[in-house]
């Protein structure tokens, strides 16, 4: 099976591409390789910026996965134009190409933060969207563009929680991974507030979920996150695995996000990993000699290299 993974050189994409080639899928990664190249040599690579790329040059694939994005709130704030061009406008171009080439399946990484702040305890896919930031708003419009193609292509939109765990292209600007870095290298985790809830998903379950949807003929929108944990509980769990102090800074921003993933569980997907596995895996890789560099922090790296 031939799969095109757009944004496949990032934190999630690197692990996804390398996992799928290990399972004998034929993988092509199209990415501008902002954060380097940690892909297996069997992955075919196209270095390009999706804002300007002519997708019609590509041949046919069995499925297309789109992960390319300025992938959190502060990154999108760096460059709103880039956000909208590599988000909804690029999604439109990619879908047009998919329809022309009769590609059977399109999978998109949206975000669990698209719901905004909700009073409901179970934030499920049936609730309305109240996106707050450019990141969330542009993801919502991407979803609308994709849904407008529902008569032409089978699509799956995944709304992941904050992803955690090790990848050869590690991101240290996401909560649990950042705490592991602070605990291991600084011997201290600094948290602002602490009672805010954050939903989490292990990176290996995110990867497994893509394979699940590639194999199954299921269309629709699915949350993906199986633990809703407070920031202070995430920090405490990290400190149990990696001995360190925790310091608290007061905040007036007690915003909590949570998601419910009952729909994907009902569809037959079962998670295999949790946040403790993610901490142990990152610790193991630090002990084995993985050395974080500046490119593990997306924002600082893109600013320093004047990429956006």
Ligand X SMILES: NC(=O)c1ccc[n+]([C@@H]2O[C@H](COP(=O)([O-])OP(=O)(O)OC[C@H]3O[C@@H](n4cnc5c(N)ncnc54)[C@H](O)[C@@H]3O)[C@@H](O)[C@H]2O)c1
Q: Which residues bind ligand X (CB under 6 A)?
A: 7, 9-13, 31-35, 49-51, 67-69, 71, 86, 109, 111, 160, 162-163, 171, 174, 298
Q: How far is the CB of 39 from ligand X (least distance, A)?
A: 10
Of 222, 29, 10, the residue nearest 111 (C-alpha): 222
**CB nearer to ligand X: pick between 69 and 269:** 69
Report in angstroms the alpha-carbon separations of 277 from 81, 128, 179, 231, 235: 38, 33, 14, 17, 14
> What's the rounded Cα separation, in Å, for the pair 286 and 157?
33
Q: How far is the CB of 15 from ligand X (least distance, A)?
A: 9
> What's the rounded Cα separation, in Å, for the pair 305 and 293?
14
**CB nearer to ligand X: pick between 84 and 286:** 84
**CB nearer to ligand X: pick between 35 and 286:** 35
Task: Report the Cα 107 to chain-centroid distance in Å.
Answer: 12
Q: How far is the CB of 165 from ligand X (least distance, A)?
A: 10
Report in angstroms the alpha-carbon separations of 262 from 114, 136, 278: 17, 22, 22
The first and second tokens of residue 96, run together, are 């047009």
Q: How far is the CB of 228 from ligand X (least distance, A)?
A: 14
> What's the rounded Cα separation, in Å, for the pair 202 and 127?
24
**CB nearer to ligand X: pick between 34 and 84:** 34
**CB nearer to ligand X: pick between 248 and 303:** 303
Q: How far is the CB of 114 from ligand X (least distance, A)?
A: 9
Residue least distant from ligand X (Cβ): 10
């Amino acid at each position: 099976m031939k799969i095109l993974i757009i944004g496949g050189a990032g934190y999630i994409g690197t692990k996804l591409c390398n996992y799928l080639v290990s399972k004998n899928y034929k993988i092509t990664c199209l990415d501008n390789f902002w954060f380097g190249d940690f892909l297996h040599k069997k992955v075919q690579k196209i270095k390009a910026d999706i804002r300007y790329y002519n997708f019609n040059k590509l041949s046919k694939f069995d499925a297309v996965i789109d992960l390319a994005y300025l992938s959190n709130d502060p990154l999108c704030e760096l460059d709103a134009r880039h956000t909208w061009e590599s988000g909804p406008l690029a999604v439109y171009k990619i879908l047009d190409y998919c329809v022309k080439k009769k590609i059977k399946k399109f999978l998109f990484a949206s975000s669990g933060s698209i719901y905004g702040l909700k009073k409901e305890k179970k934030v499920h896919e049936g609730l309305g969207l109240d996106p707050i930031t450019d990141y969330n708003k542009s993801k919502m419009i991407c979803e609308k563009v994709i849904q407008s193609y529902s008569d032409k292509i089978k699509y799956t939109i995944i709304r992941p929680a904050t992803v955690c765990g090790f990848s050869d292209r590690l991101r240290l600007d996401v909560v649990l991974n950042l705490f592991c870095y602070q605990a291991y290298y600084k011997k201290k985790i600094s948290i602002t507030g602490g009672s805010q809830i954050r939903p989490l998903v292990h990176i290996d379950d995110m990867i497994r979920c893509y394979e699940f949807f590639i194999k199954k003929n299921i269309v629709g929108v699915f949350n993906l996150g199986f633990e809703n944990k407070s920031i202070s509980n995430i920090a405490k769990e990290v400190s149990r695995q990696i001995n360190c102090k925790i310091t608290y800074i007061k905040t007036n921003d007690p915003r909590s996000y949570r998601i419910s993933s009952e729909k994907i569980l009902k569809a037959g997907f079962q998670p295999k990993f949790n946040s403790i596995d993610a901490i142990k895996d990152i610790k193991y890789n630090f002990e084995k000699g993985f050395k974080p560099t500046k490119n593990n922090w997306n924002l600082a790296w893109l600013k320093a290299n004047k990429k956006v």
